[in-house]
Amino acid sequence: MPFRDRLYLSTTAEDAPALAREYDLGLEIAEYCTASHMDEDFPETDAAVRRRMKGVERFTFHAPFNELCPAAIDPLVRRLTQQRYRQAIRLARAYGFRKIVIHSGFIPLVYYPSWFVAESVPFWREFLAQVPEDMTLCLENVMEPGPDMLLEIVARVDDPRFRLCLDVGHAATRVSGAAPIDWIGPYAPFLAHVHLHNNDGDWDLHQPLGEGVLDMAAILTQTERLCPEVTYTIENMRCAPSLEWLEQRGYL
């Protein structure tokens, strides 16, 4: 499948809907990253989402993540996490979306990695029993030190509806001990989606693809070589500079 047909723009960028229509790209709906938008703010949020969806044919969906953790120490937080994820799945189904990105919830220095993995596996096994057969949940790295933790979670859960999302910008911040390109090989057997943005190698800045320390050309070359069917989302405040960068290199 051509690269263009696998590329999405996150609606965190104001210019994403217009550019998705112009370039015939997909959209990743990010309005519900804030869980309250599924509750009291839903009518206004839903109207805004449907306006942005007009004229676009392909979508992915980003689930809420603030204060949510599948391996939370407090059992009430775990139940809230499951409740919010159930809401997200129902909402995605209502919109007709089938690929869902969900953060892992890991926080360094709060959770021991091995404990976090052990506690996450049963959560996801139980939760996937509630997920439609034609949906795919993509577990996204945020503050993990390397690829091993989420790779182990997904491998142990062992469900074709549960895959990985590699966020290359998150893999290049101060919390990561492995370069983003070194995540791709281990992730490859389970990699379904990639978030693209650049930064200074320290903070999660969500800069355009050509502005930062990441060798984005090398990252894309490696990902396309190992995972030629993977989908991508550009996560910038403005998508136009990244699309220009991709155009200059023949991706669009």
Ordered by start, the domain boundaries in the chain are 3-248
Is 59:68 a contact under the CB 8 Å cutoff? no
Model confidence at 165, pLDDT cuts 50, 70, 90, reads: very high
Q: pLDDT tens-digit profile of 216-243?
A: 999 999 999 999 999 999 999 999 999 9
The DSSP-derived string for 107-148 is -TTTS-HHHHHHHHHHHHHHHHTTS-TT-EEEEEPSS-SSSH
**How far apart, in whole angstroms, are the C-alpha atoms of residue 242 and residue 204?**
16
CATH superfamily of domain region 3-248: Divalent-metal-dependent TIM barrel enzymes (3.20.20.150)
Mean pLDDT of the chain: 97
Is 234:242 a contact under the CB 8 Å cutoff? yes
**How far apart, in whole angstroms, are the C-alpha atoms of residue 126 and residue 248?**
46
The closest of 161, 159, 156, 104 to 132, measured between CA atoms, is: 161
pTM of the complete model beyond 0.95: yes
Residue 120: the pLDDT is: 98
